Amino acid sequence: MAEVTNPPSRPLGRSVFVTGANGYLGSAVCRAFVRAGWRTYGLVRRPESASALAIEEIVPIVGSIAHNATFLEDLYKHTKTIDVIVSCTEQIPFGTHYQALIGLLRKLAETSNRNGVRPLVLISSGVKDYAVTGVHGSPGLAPLTEDSPLDGMDLVQERATSCLDIFNHTDLFDGVVLRPTPLFGYGGSYYGVTLELAAAAAGSPERILRIPADFNVILHGCHVDDCAEAYLSLAEHPARDAVSGQSFNVSGYRYETLGDLAEAITSEYDLQGVVPISKDEDAVPGSEILFGVSQWVDSTKIRQLTGWSDKRMLMTENLHAYRVAYEDAAKRGDEGVQRIKERVELIFAPVRK
């Protein structure tokens, strides 16, 4: 009879610290790292948000990103070393927020360095840093790449330039910038605004949704869980030199168009139709920003380097499931749903003036 021996013990798991851990992207990133066996610490601003993290086996750290942040000592009670730091927070004005964030990152990295670990920092921006592309079918249509100019809409110009400062701190850590496309799934997506508008149209006498945009506008999205796996793929890449100092786009395997979405919405909500109108007609204020920004985004770089690929169905391919998930989240008072509504109100307030 063969001798039975215990298998060798596995090494202690690596550690990750995620800011905005109860946010839409941040919570998905935390879950991805937990599933992959990482010891995961999540920063939340309010104590009442901590239990939601603990349930997911994420160690909650309560505090906020500020020049006088006091939560570091709470984190250090658990660990003095952080292998990967993921920033999933942003605030308007962006510049002030990033200044405070960089100060925090340096403090975390200094402590880790003293204890023998040089962190990798993954900072989140977005593809709105880039300008628009042509619409589907337009001559010379080409995707946005990591080499495309950062000349997007004025609203995010400060974010686009501020996040690049992550590359100026190689004395303490290695930096990476990620630019995801608009995300969907669960409750906290900007796509939720589209679902709200569709539901309102379904409850109207004419059952028509009017959208001020060309139906050939490109909507290139990615499921939030797939996006989170992209962060993990960079964190676990064996060659740090191939990752550090780089920017990566994260997008679905193909784009959809506003026409595709309109067709799916018409069927899902049993509408008479989705009708394109001019910006001068009676449209929801600011909806041209939601529906009128055409961006085809190439993510070949991260796919080829890490082997990452998106697995979840596109928005139009699984709209019913995404609708049900969003509506259930809204009924439960999901923080992500409310946060997006508040952010949309902030963004669109100048549009209404």
CATH number for position 185 = 3.40.50.720
Structure confidence at residue 287 (pLDDT)? 60
In a domain, 4, yes or no: no
DSSP letters along 164-191, please? GGGGG-TTT-EEEEEEEPPEESSS--TH
Total domains, the chain: 1
Structure confidence at residue 9 (pLDDT)? 54
Contact between 178 and 124 under an 8 Å Cβ cutoff? The reply is yes
Contact between 207 and 197 under an 8 Å Cβ cutoff? The reply is no
Question: For 53-99, what is each residue's pLDDT tens digit?
Answer: 999 999 999 999 988 888 999 999 999 999 999 999 877 777 788 99
In a domain, 1, yes or no: no
Radius of gyration of the chain measured on its C-alpha atoms: 21
Q: Would the pLDDT of 277 be above 90?
A: no
pTM assigned to the model: 0.92
In a domain, 299, yes or no: yes
In a domain, 10, yes or no: no
In a domain, 105, yes or no: yes
Range of the domain at 139: 15-352
Question: For 173-213, what is each residue's pLDDT tens digit?
Answer: 999 999 999 999 998 688 888 898 899 999 999 999 988 88
Q: Would the pLDDT of 134 be above 70?
A: yes
In a domain, 65, yes or no: yes
In a domain, 127, yes or no: yes
In a domain, 88, yes or no: yes
Which band of pLDDT confidence, cut at 50, 70 and 90, is reported for residue 351?
A: very low
Mean pLDDT of the chain: 90
Q: Would the pLDDT of 323 be above 80?
A: yes
Residue 180: strand pairing partners:
250
Give the integer Cα–Cα distance in Å for 128 and 180.
Answer: 9
What average pLDDT does this structure show over 334-339? 79
